[in-house]
Structures are given as C-alpha cells and as structure tokens.
Amino acid sequence: MEQALKNMPIAFPGLLGDWSWNPDPVAIHIGHGIYWYGIILAVAMLCGTWLSMRRAKYAGITEDHVLDFVLWATPCCIIGSRTYYVFFNQSLYRNAAGTFDWGRAVAVWDGGIAMYGTVIVGLLVAFVFSWRRFIPFGALMDTLVYGLILGQSIGRWANFVNREAFGVPTDLPWRMRLWFSGANNVPVAVDVHPTFLYESLWNLLGLILLLTVISRGRRFDGENAWFYFLWYGLGRAWIEGLRTDSLYLFDWTFFGVPVRVSQALSLCLAGLAALVLWFEIRVLRRTPDRLYVNQPESRQWFEEDPAFTDRQPARQKKRTGGNNMAILMDGKALAEKTRARIQQQVRALQRPPCLAVILVGADPASQIYVRNKEKDCAECGIQTLPCRLPESITEEQLLTLIRRLNEDPAVDGILCQLPLPPHINASEVLRAIAPEKDVDCFHPSNIGQLSMGEPVFLPCTPAGIMMLLLEYGIPVRGRRCVIIGRSNIVGKPLGMLLTAADGTVTICHSRTEHLADITRQADILISAAGKPGLVTADMVKAGATVIDVGMNRDENGNLCGDVDFEGVSGQAGWITPVPGGVGPMTRARLLENVLTAAKRRLSGE
C-alpha cells in the first residue's frame, strides 16, 4: 500500500463514529516549519532521558553518565536511523527519472526513521561510551532501556500525526481510517490496523513489567537489556506482520510471503535474547551479589556527590534523639535485608550450603552466639552441622575433628567458636581449618590474600562495617579513618579494607599517646578496644561517623559498647548502637562467606 495522504483527516469509525481529526503535520510555520513529528520525538527523548536518569542509581551509575551518553548518542542515532530507513526503502527517494533524490533522503523532518537503525547505532555508541568511562556495558544498558522503551511508547504517536506506520486493511472495531490517492488522484478512504497504537501499548506494558518485576529480581548486569530485546523482538515480529510500509528484505520470500527486514531481525533478536537469559540464569546461575551496583568500584561515582541520598533505603534521617543528634546506623535492619538477599541466592543453588559449627565447652556467651548463628543459617536455608564438644577435649582430638570436616565434601564452611579452653592453642586450631572452608577468614592464607587485595573471604566484622558505610552512603575515599584496636580479628583487617577503599588509615592501640588528639581528626572513627566508655564526646570531630565494635557490660550488667552513646550522639553525624549495630552485620557477613564457599565448591574453584 502506498503512503497515506497527509492533508486528509484521521478517524476511528468503529470507536468514535463520524468524529475525525485533520492535524497539520507542521506545528509552527517558521522557515521549513517545526513539525509535530519532531516535537513528539523530542518529548519522547526527554521523557526517556529523565526516566533513565532516575533509574541510574540502581545500576551503580550516575545521572551524569546517562546525560553524557544521550548528548553523544542523539545525533549519531538520528543519522543511523535515517540511513537504515532510506537504505531499505530506496524507491521512496527516487524521482520520476529513476535517479536518487539526496535532498529528500536527508529531509528527516518529513518523517521516515527506522527504530532498528537507532538501536544498532545506539548499541555501538553505548559500547564505546562504557569502555571510555570504565563502567560495565551491561549496567549502562540496563539503565538506558528504561528510557528507550518509554521513548518508543511515546514516539510512536509521531507516526500517528504523520499518517505512517499503519497496517493492512481491517474491519475490527478499533480500526483507523486513512485516505489514499485513488484513480485520477481521487482520495479513497481505507480502514487499517493502527499499528502505531499497538506498538505504543506493547512498549508501555513492557515498561510496567520492567519496573515492577524484571528490575526487582535482576541477577546480572544486562538482564534488563536482554528482557527488553526479547520483549521488543516478540512485539515487532507480530506488529510488522500487520504493517504495509515495512521494509522488505530485498526480494526474499518465505513460503511465498515476502520477508520483512524488521520481522526477520525481530525473530532473531528475540531468540538470541531468550537464549542469553536462559544461559545466564539457569546455566551460570547468576546472583545479585555480582551486580556492578553491589561492587565497591561503583561507589567511586557517588562518594563526591552529597546530593545522592536515596541510593540505599536505610539512608533515611532516622536520628537517635533531638534535632542535633546523630543519624542511627541500623545494623539490624541492614542485616535483615542481607539475609533476605542471601536466602534468594541459596534457593538458586544446586544444594543448600552446609556450615559445621564447633563449640567447645559450655560458656554461656558462646552458646548464645552459636545459637544465633545457627538461627540465621536456618532462616536463609543454610544447613548447619553442630559439633558440641566437652571442655575436657584434647587439642589433638579437636584437630582430628577439623581434619575430618576438611575432607567432608558435604561441608562448605567450618566455624570454631572462640574463646577455646586455656589448654587448647587457638592459633593452631584456626590454622588447621582448610583455607577454602575458613568462613571466619582467620587462616593466615586468607589474611594474606586480603592484604594482597585478592580476598576469597572477607573477615566478618570488618566487612560488616564496610557494608554499613556503603549502605548509608558514607564515603571512604580520601577520608581520615581512625581505628582504636589492633586485633587480628577487627583492627588489622579493617585497616586493610579501609585502605583498599582509598581511606587514610591510622590504627591506635593501648600504647598510643595523645589518643584524643588523633581521634578528633577522624572523619570515620571505629572503636574496637573492648573498654566501656572509652570514646567520649570531646574525642569526636563534629559530624564524624562513629562505629562502635565494643561488646561490654557496664557496672549494672547492661550491654554497652566502647562509646559513650548519649554524649557522642550529640557530636557525631552517624553512629552505631550497641546492640543492633555492628553485631548483626558480623553474623550477616558470615552467611555471605558461607554462600561464597558453597558457590566456589559447586563451581569447582
């Protein structure tokens, strides 16, 4: 079917009766004119850019990244989409003599652009942009498809105003009436499929699915993009079959039916997208912990952006008291969210992970700690193998048990609860645990890998602290970080993690002179000394972040930390409570390590 007449009215006789509309393709008559076609496409691009910018943080990139990409990609995509359309529809741009009319070919304001040309050129620009900006291509594409699918939903109405992208004749109730040039140039009315409307609604439905379902369960960078390609490919394969102005693939036919370029590409694209999604999710079993947004590298884009306050839900202005009180860093809430994420990942494994828990003796505090850890494991679907041993057990008997657990293929991780009885050398026991099952990250091999920046596991308490800082959007890069305490469990490994995050680290201890002078310089102050009331308000810089790792009992037997909580809360900007701060995050990080150990063993690493 030829092109519809652009000076004749548009009607929907099956829905609106005799009502019709005859829009002038030119909105403003200045010079060549400002066309409705261009205005609608510009609105679609602006809305799409806005949505992608709003969703950027969920992929670990910034709004500036999206805006910069749009500025680079827009002229390239216009050229690419027009070139694609003209190449596959050359007959429209030949004059009566059969020669090619270059003037009409470049007149993009007259309409005629192909979405596939936009997508192809856009992908090339996105690849170069992500490479130049050192961000993952998949994370960038996961952000851009929001704008792309919204832009398509709006932009298709430009086809409506321009009387193009219509379908074959139909008598369905929602048919659209257009006018064509008949015999002796007499206008003839034809009722056709409003395929522009089909595609607009199809993209709108895809956007709703993307926002409400797909993005919420994203497991790998690029998943949003591949869903979009699957959805778009299926929709185009259907809709292009109804179109009359589609681009044909030269003179090829399939069972006597001409093959359209868009249909062939759509089916190939949908098939490829389905294959990639199946392979990534079912074969590689991707999990959200590998997403760029969950990696330390993505923090670099936000650490210098104080306006970025809504990346993490926990970063609400939840304060400990009055208007001048510090923001409470709720480790309990973050631990609950972490356990929920781990639970989802455990369900995706071939079998549940297994943690062997060794408890020697009947120390009441140790029994509580072990019971809580086993409860956390059960909540996440991690199996536990309790090993309760009498206090009288010999060191050699304990080492024999550990060697047996090291060799047990059903056991992924081993935890030996400290402290041990005085007659057992704790260092020898911790060294005996196989490094690949050392989920506490106490083995010298694992500490060595941590110091080299190539950790297999992260020590639980230090890693839990880093998760809290990340959750509350507290930057580490370039900040002065002071740690009180130099233990092998907290102080030393935490110093390594903060240094790896580009913090300037000072470790203080019992022999440090003029401690208060040092702590007052700290942007981030962590106390792990095990001394109640050690850190007071006069030792804290105004607005500093104070992390209390201490777990002590005061003179009344109540649980408390190293920090004078009430006094420091009026001076600090952020503070962790005791209990409910670092403690829950230590247990949550243990679960992360057990999950990591199970994944490594299942993958043969």
Q: Is this prediction's pTM over 0.75?
A: no
pLDDT range class, residue 295, cuts 50, 70, 90: low
pLDDT surpasses 50 at 304: no
The whole-number pLDDT of residue 605 equals 65
| Domain 302-603: which CATH number of 3.40.190.10, 3.40.50.720, 3.90.1150.10, 3.60.20.10 | 3.40.50.720
Q: Could you read off the pLDDT of 577-590 as tens digits, one per residue? A: 998 999 999 999 99
Distance CA 242, CA 421 (A): 79
| 17 Cβ neighbours under 8 A, 6+ residues apart | none
Distance CA 77, CA 70 (A): 10
pLDDT, average across residues 409-436: 93
Q: Could you read off the pLDDT of 171-185 as tens digits, one per residue? A: 999 999 988 888 778
The whole-number pLDDT of residue 292 equals 83
The whole-number pLDDT of residue 250 equals 59
pLDDT surpasses 60 at 319: no
User: Which residues pair with residue 254 across a beta bridge?
Assistant: 257
Distance CA 83, CA 118 (A): 10
* Angle CA 62–68–71, to nearest 5: 145
Q: Could you read off the pLDDT of 480-495 as tens digits, one per residue? A: 999 999 999 999 999 9
pLDDT range class, residue 322, cuts 50, 70, 90: very low
pLDDT, average across residues 439-451: 92
Domains of the chain by residue range: 10-283, 302-603
The whole-number pLDDT of residue 31 equals 76
Task: Evaluate whether 519 touches 540 at the Cβ level (below 8 Å).
Answer: yes
The whole-number pLDDT of residue 259 equals 67
Q: Could you read off the pLDDT of 251-270 as tens digits, one per residue? A: 666 666 666 777 788 889 89
The whole-number pLDDT of residue 43 equals 95
pLDDT, average across residues 419-435: 93
Report CA dihedral (190, 191, 193, 194) to the nearest 10 degrees: 90
pLDDT surpasses 80 at 115: no
pLDDT surpasses 50 at 600: yes
| Residue-wise DSSP of 187-223 | EEEEEE--HHHHHHHHHHHHHHHIIIIIGGG--STTH
